[in-house]
Homo-oligomer: A and B are copies of this chain.
Amino acid sequence: MCAKTASTLDLSAVLPGLSIDCVIFGFDRGKLHVLVLKWKNEDLWALPGGFIPATMDIDQAATKILEERTGIRLPYLAQFHTFGKVNRRRIDSFLDQLKGSVLPENWMEEWIRQRFVSIGYLSLVNLHQCRPSPDLFSDACEWVQVKELPPMLFDHQHITEKALEQLRHQINYLPIGLSLLPEKFTMKELQRLYEEVLERKLDRANFQKKMLKLGFLDRQEKQMTGAAHKAPYLYSFNTEAYQELLQKGIGYIS
């Protein structure tokens, strides 16, 4: 709503030739998801992105852009890479695809044809705690599985892959999960998250011991699932311990 009113672009008030694209990961039913927007009246999906107001730091701009385009407000987005190949937007095939579709009235073709360098931002959220809603240029805002990405605008597939690579790297030296999992979760769910990101199976017993030893999990009551087996414990993140590990890392050279 209030976010939406700002959507009319004043092209003189944003930095020329620069954009921001956000890769937002969520986790549900054992699968990693990414948040994507569907271009109005087209079968074309895109990462939530936009332009940088001339008076805003790029980090602030990322937060604002994400909120305007999806309704999700995140306090912290992390920059992970800047994409600057000359032909990263494959602009001709893009304009072809758009034939017959409406662009915002002040997006003159000249302006949109120019070269753009895009700064990639990454964040993780609990996809059950946010209601993404599409903006004026989009008619859908959805979580799609990382393994089943639809055809995407420009190099957005490549950007998504780079973000995944970054995530896969980070999981080796930082704790993960606080912003992805619900408040309470089972060890199995946490393990599934790790397996999904690392793309390999982990040993159940050893995973449990490792995580508990890291000391950022608080054990809660058991969860009666109604399934024909022992009920698993629930866990929650110990926020102080978690934050501390975020600072100093999990494991490093000796």
Contacts and interface: CB of A to CB of B under 8 A. Distances in A.
Count class of interface residues, chain A: 20 to 34
B82 A57 contact: no
Interface string A84-114: 1110000000000000000000000000000
Q: Please classify the interface of chain A as helix (H, G, I), strand (E, B), loop, or mixed, using the class held by over half of its residues.
A: loop
A17 B84 CA distance: 14
Nearest to A81: B79
A86 B61 CA distance: 11
Given A55-B86, A56-B86, A115 B15 contact: yes
A13 to B, nearest CB: 12
A117 B86 contact: no
A246 interface: no
A28 to B, nearest CB: 23
A223 interface: no
Contacts of A79: 81-82
Given A17-B16, A253-B171, A54 B115 contact: yes
Closest 10 CB pairs of A and B: A58-B84, A172-B253, A82-B82, A172-B252, A57-B85, A82-B119, A15-B17, A57-B86, A16-B16, A18-B117
15 contacts: A15-B117, A16-B17, A17-B18, A18-B18, A52-B84, A55-B86, A57-B84, A58-B85, A59-B84, A61-B84, A172-B173, A172-B253, A173-B173, A198-B253, A210-B254
Interface of A: 15-18, 52, 54-59, 61, 79, 81-82, 84-86, 115, 117, 119, 171-173, 198, 206, 210, 250-254
Given A52-B117, A173-B253, 15 more contacts: A16-B16, A16-B17, A55-B86, A56-B86, A57-B85, A58-B117, A59-B84, A79-B82, A82-B119, A84-B119, A171-B253, A172-B173, A172-B252, A250-B253, A251-B253
